[in-house]
Amino acid sequence: MSLVTKLRSERAEANTKLQALATKESGGATLSAEELQEFSQLEQQIADLSAKIARAESAERAAAAAAVPLNESAAGINGPPGNRPAHITVTDNAQAGTRVAQMARMIAAAGGNQMQAAELARSSGMGEDVVMALSTTSPGAGGVLVPANMAREVIESLRPTSILRSFGARPLPLVNGNMGLPRIKGNTTVGYIGMDTDINVTGMVFDDLKLQAKKLAALVPISNDLLKFSGVSPQVDAIVVADLFTSTGLYEDITFIRSNGNGGVSPKGLRYWAPAFNIVTAPAGTSLAELDAFLGGLMLRVEMASANLAASGWIMSPRSIRFLQALRDGNGNKAYPEIEQGKLKGYPFKLSTQIPINLGAGGDESEIYFGDYSDCYIGETGEMVLAYSTEASYKDGNGDTISAFQRDQTLVRVITHNDFGPRHVESIAVGVGVKWGKDMLA
């Protein structure tokens, strides 16, 4: 308790006693000599306390005026923060790509009106970055340009769904849509020489990996019932994000693995980058010795090319790995027990349904890929454009034409540009004519 408060409490107590005596006298009673003496003492006490209170208040005002800030370094954990700026860390736990999904939803909900989409985003409580992106980006004939930082979220999030990205294929920026990577095609001649012998003069032979931006378009159908939830709905955003990532990642797989380039329209895949001497036909038999030699041969071709093997592994159809998983040696033991840990002959494997199992004349063949994927490059422009339509049609996985209008859907079109290629084609080996496991689906 401060001194001023204590003195005021004592003065209030003395005043209560004084008022009691005054009330008694005003009621017609006569005060005794002792009571008169007490009344005089109380008057003097109240006067003294009032003087003390005045002096104490004056001292407090002077102390406050002359106060100096404390040394905050010695304030301790419970000390006042003073003028020290607050350090606040905000962690955004939203799924990567959510902001792009929110932009897509708002554009679709606003019927393509970008300014209305920005107002919808603001009124729905979405992040200021989404509102600003919709407000400041100029719409073009092809749609709304997604800011580079948001587009990068989507591209980086394709890593788990795209096999080659998850294996470690390296992304590169395509400046003005083009990128050239020199590679060594032939080495210099090095050797020991004797006295008075000429040194062989040779030079390295170089070639280029040329990446050129090729248009990748994804169509994401969104139910109009979902668009009715115009507020911030993590569940709705997650559905849009999942559809976008899955469709884009799967199409990247089928393109980067098996595309023939389609006359330069799409990137060329591993199957058509691999040199002829690295394409091996699987044996007709299915004995352990034959299969092991075949798999080892694929590995050996990459190893003999002096590949770094920094991010090597297998890519195959689920049918192929399930057959190898069930394969037994002469003692009844699993031939490749490490498959349970996600490896085959010491290297990780990844499965893709984008590798067909209906190839060949009989419609029952598949393929197996082994390579050093750190030597593969994905060129990207880093740009993404969104557009929408409620009247357009699209084809489903079976090739059937679906009307978005008839299904009460809104189609969101996402367009980006990329290209793919290995720097050294010798770092890729492909096994073809793989019929193992065809009876498993009979």
State residue 72's pLDDT score. Answer: 46
Give me the chain's average pLDDT, please: 78
80 Ramachandran zone, left/alpha/beta (phi>0; psi -120 to 50) = beta
CB contact at 8 A, 201 and 183: no
Instruction: Identify which of 68-77, 166-175, 206-215, 368-377 has the greatest average pLDDT.
Output: 368-377
Residue 375 has a CB neighbour count (10 Å cut-off) of 27
Strand partners, 413: 219, 387
State residue 205's pLDDT score. Answer: 55
CB contact at 8 A, 120 and 231: no
Quick one: which H or E segment has residue 304? none
Encode pLDDT of 70-111 as tens digits.
554 444 444 455 555 555 544 455 555 566 667 776 776 676
**376-389 and 409-422 beta bridge pairing:** antiparallel
Provide mean pLDDT across the span 54-82.
Answer: 64
Residue 439 has a CB neighbour count (10 Å cut-off) of 9
List of domains in the chain: 143-186+205-442 (3.90.1690)
Residue 19 has a CB neighbour count (10 Å cut-off) of 11
Q: Residue 277's closest CA among 307, 306, 305?
A: 305
**pLDDT: is 166 or 366 the higher one?**
366
Q: What DSSP character marks residue 288?
A: H
Chain length of the chain: 442
Contacts of 352 (CB under 8 A, 6+ apart): 163, 253, 257, 315, 316, 317
CA distances from residue 338 to 197, 300, 347, 367 in whole angstroms, order as listed = 54, 20, 10, 21
Could you give the CA distance from residue 22 to residue 313 in angstroms, rounded to a whole number?
A: 103
CB contact at 8 A, 179 and 172: yes
Q: What is the CA radius of gyration of the chain?
A: 40
Q: pLDDT confidence of 239, banded at 50, 70, 90?
A: low
37 Ramachandran zone, left/alpha/beta (phi>0; psi -120 to 50) = alpha
Could you give the CA distance from residue 161 to residue 152 in angstroms, rounded to a whole number?
A: 15
**pLDDT: is 68 or 286 the higher one?**
286
Encode pLDDT of 296-340 as tens digits.
999 999 999 887 888 899 999 999 999 999 999 889 899 999 999
The letter for the amino acid at 180 is G
Could you give the CA distance from residue 419 to residue 421 in angstroms, rounded to a whole number?
A: 7
State residue 324's pLDDT score. Answer: 94
Helix (H, G, I), strand (E, B) or coil at 97: coil
Helix (H, G, I), strand (E, B) or coil at 194: coil
Q: Which two tokens stand for residue 317?
A: 């159809």
Residue 402, Cβ density class (10 Å: 0-12 exposed, 13-18 middle, ≥19 buried): middle
Share above pLDDT 90 across residues of the chain, in percent, rounded to a whole number:
23
Share above pLDDT 70 across residues of the chain, in percent, rounded to a whole number:
71
CA distances from residue 412 to 202, 224, 267, 277, 420 in whole angstroms, order as listed = 56, 12, 23, 43, 25
Strand partners, 181: 209
State residue 212's pLDDT score. Answer: 84
Q: What is the dihedral of CA 160, 163, 165, 169, to 10 degrees?
A: 150
Instruction: Identify which of 155-159, 297-301, 394-398 has the greatest average pLDDT.
Output: 297-301
**pLDDT: is 356 or 160 the higher one?**
356
State residue 96's pLDDT score. Answer: 57
State CA 204 to chain mean position distance: 41
Has residue 116 got a pLDDT over 60? yes
Q: What DSSP character marks residue 29?
A: P
Quick one: which H or E segment has residue 413? strand 409-422
State residue 90's pLDDT score. Answer: 46
| Lowest-confidence pick of 51-55, 190-194, 213-217, 410-414 | 190-194
For the packed helices 234-258 and 98-109, what is the interaxial angle rounded to 10 degrees? 110
Helix (H, G, I), strand (E, B) or coil at 276: helix
State residue 185's pLDDT score. Answer: 54
Strand partners, 351: 316
State residue 395's pLDDT score. Answer: 78
State residue 301's pLDDT score. Answer: 94
If you write DSSP's letter for every residue of 347-404 in order, what string do you get? EEEEE-TTS-S-BTTTT-BEEEEEEEGGGEEEEEEEEEEEEEESS-EEE-TTS-EEET
What pTM, to 2 d.p., does this model score?
0.63
Helix (H, G, I), strand (E, B) or coil at 431: strand
